[in-house]
Structure 1
Amino acid sequence: MAGDCILCGKCLEVCPLLNATGREELGPRAKADLCAVLTADKEALSEADAAKLAGLCLGCHRCKAVCSQGVDVPGLVAMLRAAHPDFRAWLWKQWLTHARELWAVSSSAAKLIPKKFQPEKFGPMLKMLAGLKGGPGLEPFLSITSFPDTYRGEKMLLFAGCTANYVQTRWLMTALRLLDGLGVEVLSGDFQCCGGGLKGAGCLDEARVMAEHNVAVWRAAGKPKVVVFCASCRSSLEGYEEVFDSSDEALEWQKNIFPLSGVASEIGFVISANCPKTLGYHRPCHVDAADSDCRLLQSALRERLVAETKRECCGFGGVMGLGAPGLTDQVNRRCWDRLGGAEIVLTGCSACASRLSATAPQGVGVGHWLEIIR
């Protein structure tokens, strides 16, 4: 796959890491070129050099989306990470595979540890954990006025994701309330993590086990629609091709993955008096071209939506955030520059909400768009 790169440079225009740092050696084209070298000669780079290369990718997949040759640089990096695991990958794997036991407790504890007592090695992880905080969140200011009959009587599965299941349960409750109002019967399904964060970190076996489990849940439920309200989870679910025995079933699975905002697009909303005058929307890297989250917010908030990211990444970066926090911080600052002037920033991705919440300027609120619905 790495050898398919024709060095056209399309990926350079969309890479948040390159755009934030100006360093072309950090861009996808350089990674594809180096992976091609390693494919031809595994001894061309030392173990340390290969591990360093594997660590410097945000996993945003923007380069893959624009590549005319179908080169998947984040996929190549994930394979490098699998071949050269380190302490950060191990730590990331523990965090994701034990989310049920760790997240709620860790996110609360992380906020209580003074910075001077935070080990340098764990500082970035603690910062991300603090961004997962639960609690009251944003004050709701969108009231529902009407529900359409479009989906009334349909049976669907709801994929809530780890953050909503273990930390931000108010997201889950609001999602269930919206689906109930729409007349949807939410089927019981014990989904696990989407596996996207594990796959990007090179934990390929663990990610595949989760993917196989989630597909089995869908099959057992009769292969209904699966509603998702996290852009990163949705992208990960749609990338399960390797766990299907037939391309037809893989396509059937992909066609049944729906964003909650798309299902809820015809719900009537009215703004309450406590709505801030200026709001921003952060477009996640993994959102699809339609971006139904943004369209729903534009329809409901209208002129109050004054700031919006388009090409800027929040800088979450997955496992890269542990190994190169200085670089991910540069990416994050460009994101906040774009969102200047907003009193509250909304997004439709759990990872983005966590990262932006942990790095928000003083006085700026951050949350998932589900939080603003009464």
Structure 2
Amino acid sequence: MAVSKNCVQCGKCLEVCPLFKVTGREELTPRAKFFLESLDPSAGLSEKDFKSLASMCLSCGRCEKNCPQHMSGPDLVSTLRSESKKFTQTCWDLWLSKPGFIWPLAAALSKFTPETLLEPVGSLKKRMEALFKKSPAPWVKLTPDIKFDERRVILFKGCVGTYARQDWVLKAEHLMDGAGLVRAGEPNFKCCGSSYGSAGLLSKQNSVRKANISEWKRLDFPLIIIFCTTCLKGLKEYSLSDFDGDEDSYNLWLSSLVPLSSLLLDADVKILENSPLQVVYHKPCHAPEPDYDQALVEAVVGDKLMPVKKDICCGFGGIMQLGAPDLSKQVGDYCINELTKSISPGAQILTGCSACVIQLTTLAKADFFTGHWLDILE
């Protein structure tokens, strides 16, 4: 790709790459990927090397934010993955395409899976428990005070909310209804497309984007309320071409994406007696600026909240769970250690990303509850 020729090898991506931070291996960095991709095939970089290279990216996007030329390592890796299909992509496609069948099946089978097996199978039991984990006793009661126009709304539940954590969906809908928001109907949304894109499954990504846009139009262009950071990112990344060049619809779509937490900042807060002494907020790599999830947690938790560390990746990485699970776990273990080294057992770790919840819950010790901020709400 011509874009890689513009990399000046300045190394700014090394400062923020989670893989480099944890492993010290420069061959895993965006700089190395852009350099290797720019080589002529005669230089000796084999197809196998490219396939290996394409699997070593968490798709956190930090490199693009720090790059003077805004070059994206995840975009490069997505393209490489799309050009070199692997068995892991087939498995990932199946996982995303059939969640109503595959996820409960995997959860059932995981009960008989020994943890001594190699990754990613070894941690399957913990991951499935994390995916379907139920909330502890809530300790916050919010009474929304939303001043909104008369435009109708719909809820984007996301894959995890739809197929595993319906309790999140019920709480989100309860907050919306309690605030007097008028729902436009029950949308039949697909995956946001983010996980397909990072895995190089670009045709599937295009397909779900088209389906979601069609559903939004069918319901007469309502506001879309979102409670997952990665879903918000995925929906924001829809392009003008996804709207067949219709700029009005495209701009209206972008202005219609509303984080649920942004509507709750002025809510009345009541802290219940069973609240923990300490709370940690994990800031997802894909958190927007401003991060309304963090602002809501700060407003609700108050002085129970520990200082927020903004430069730590959980290591989930989507298809990295299959392509390089040991690297994913290595980054995740570092994240957990950083988040918990200054807190006591019984503290709670909150975030606003479904993937972060799964990763951190899988790796955290039983002394700490890790969940979505919706988990603490009554």
TM-score by length of 2: 0.92
Question: Which whole-Å CA distance do the structure 1 matches of 2:146 and 2:377 have between them?
Answer: 20
Q: Secondary structure at the match of 1:287?
A: coil
Q: Secondary structure at the match of 1:81?
A: helix
Question: Which whole-Å CA distance do the structure 1 matches of 2:68 and 2:220 have between them?
Answer: 36
1:41 positional shift: 3.7
Q: Secondary structure at the match of 2:276?
A: coil
Tell me the equivalent position of 2:63.
63
Task: Choose 18-27 or 238-247, whichever is displaced more.
Answer: 238-247
Question: Which whole-Å CA distance do the structure 1 matches of 2:269 and 2:37 have between them?
Answer: 50
1:197 positional shift: 0.9
The answer to whether 1:128 aligns with 2:127 is: yes
Distance 1:121 1:182, change over 3 A: closer
Distance 1:357 1:121, change over 3 A: closer
1:66 positional shift: 2.5
Distance 1:42 1:278, change over 3 A: farther
Conservation of the 8 A alpha-carbon contact between 1:158 and 1:187? no
| Pick aligned residue for 2:182 from 185, 191, 200 | 185
Tell me the equivalent position of 2:232.
234
Question: Which whole-Å CA distance do the structure 2 matches of 1:17 and 1:248 have between them?
Answer: 40
Distance 1:108 1:349, change over 3 A: farther
Task: Give % identity.
Answer: 35
Conservation of the 8 A alpha-carbon contact between 1:244 and 1:250? yes
1:31 positional shift: 1.1
Q: Secondary structure at the match of 1:185?
A: coil
Q: How many residues align?
A: 369
Runs of 4+ in structure 1 deviating by more than 4 angstroms, as ranges, are 118-121, 124-127
Q: Which amino acid aligns with 2:31?
A: R
Tell me the equivalent position of 2:373.
369
The answer to whether 1:156 aligns with 2:153 is: yes
| Pick aligned residue for 1:13 from 12, 15, 18 | 15
Distance 1:243 1:102, change over 3 A: same
| Residues 23-42 of structure 1 mapped to structure 2, 5 A cutoff | 23-37=25-39, 40-41=40-41
Tell me the equivalent position of 2:54.
54
Unaligned runs of 5+ in 2: none
Question: Which whole-Å CA distance do the structure 1 matches of 2:179 and 2:8 have between them?
Answer: 48
| Residues 105-116 of structure 1 mapped to structure 2, 5 A cutoff | 105-116=105-116
- Post-superposition Cα deviations, 1:124-163, rounded to whole Å, max 9, x if no partner, equal 55553332123x322200012x332412644112101010
1:119 positional shift: 6.2
- Post-superposition Cα deviations, 1:254-311, rounded to whole Å, max 9, x if no partner, equal 2211111002221111111100001111111111021100100101101111153311
Conservation of the 8 A alpha-carbon contact between 1:156 and 1:224? yes
| Residues 97-112 of structure 1 mapped to structure 2, 5 A cutoff | 97-112=97-112
1:62 positional shift: 1.1
Aligned-residue CA RMSD in angstroms? 1.9
Tell me the equivalent position of 1:347.
351
1:32 positional shift: 1.6
Tell me the equivalent position of 1:205.
203
Q: Which amino acid aligns with 1:232?
A: T
- Post-superposition Cα deviations, 1:63-106, rounded to whole Å, max 9, x if no partner, equal 12222323121011011111112121111111011112222342
Conservation of the 8 A alpha-carbon contact between 2:278 and 2:305? yes
Q: Which amino acid aligns with 1:131?
A: A
